[in-house]
């Protein structure tokens, strides 16, 4: 390892240690609580491909709801469904980070089970979200086309 690489590594370790010094602190204000929460959402968006996919699909569903002029209750159901999927994706990301922190680079069956179950929760919520979309968004899209054919 070159001197430059060793220096860069040492600086990275020092920065990480400095951040961890304050990791036990609680949020002293509501604003800082919201900032920490937003940091989690931003981290997931920046690092998790599936979170970005869920965001794009969710925004598309909201846009279609507006274009189709769905009733407010149906739009609320779509919003809640999106929130559940994205919330579970955030929990999945957090659980994966904790498992990785605990077991490191080693393989452990319990770590695999924890990660697989968390991913399964996201999968089931995404399947439910597709069911909601099929029920609320697809009919107003398809019925006008069927009416033109008849």
CATH of the domain at 94: 1.10.287.3610
Q: For residue 85, is it within any domain?
A: yes
Give, as one character, the DSSP assignment of residue 106: S
Q: For residue 34, is it within any domain?
A: no
**Active site annotation includes 89:** yes
| pTM across the whole model | 0.77
Q: For residue 12, is it within any domain?
A: no
pLDDT in tens, the chain (150 residues): 677 766 776 676 666 656 656 666 677 888 988 999 999 999 999 999 999 999 999 999 999 999 999 999 999 999 999 999 999 999 999 999 999 999 988 899 999 999 999 999 999 999 999 999 999 999 998 887 777 776
Residues contacting residue 132 through CB under 8 Å, at least 6 positions apart: 77, 78, 81
Catalytically annotated residue among 11, 74, 89, 106: 89
Give the model's pLDDT for residue 20: 59
């Amino acid at each position: 390892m070159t001197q430059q690489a060793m220096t860069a590594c040492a600086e990275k370790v020092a920065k990480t240690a400095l951040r961890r010094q304050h990791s036990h602190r609680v949020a002293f204000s509501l604003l800082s609580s919201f900032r920490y929460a937003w940091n989690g959402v931003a981290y997931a968006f920046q690092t998790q491909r599936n979170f970005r996919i869920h965001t794009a699909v969710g925004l598309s569903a909201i846009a279609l709801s507006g274009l189709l002029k769905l009733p407010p209750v149906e739009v609320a159901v779509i919003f809640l469904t999106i929130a559940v999927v994205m919330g579970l994706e955030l929990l999945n990301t957090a659980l994966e980070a904790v498992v990785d922190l605990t077991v490191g680079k080693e393989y452990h069956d319990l770590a695999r089970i924890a990660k697989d179950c968390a991913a399964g929760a996201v999968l089931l919520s995404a399947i439910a979200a597709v069911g909601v979309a099929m029920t609320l968004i697809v009919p107003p899209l398809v019925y006008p086309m069927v009416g033109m054919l008849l």
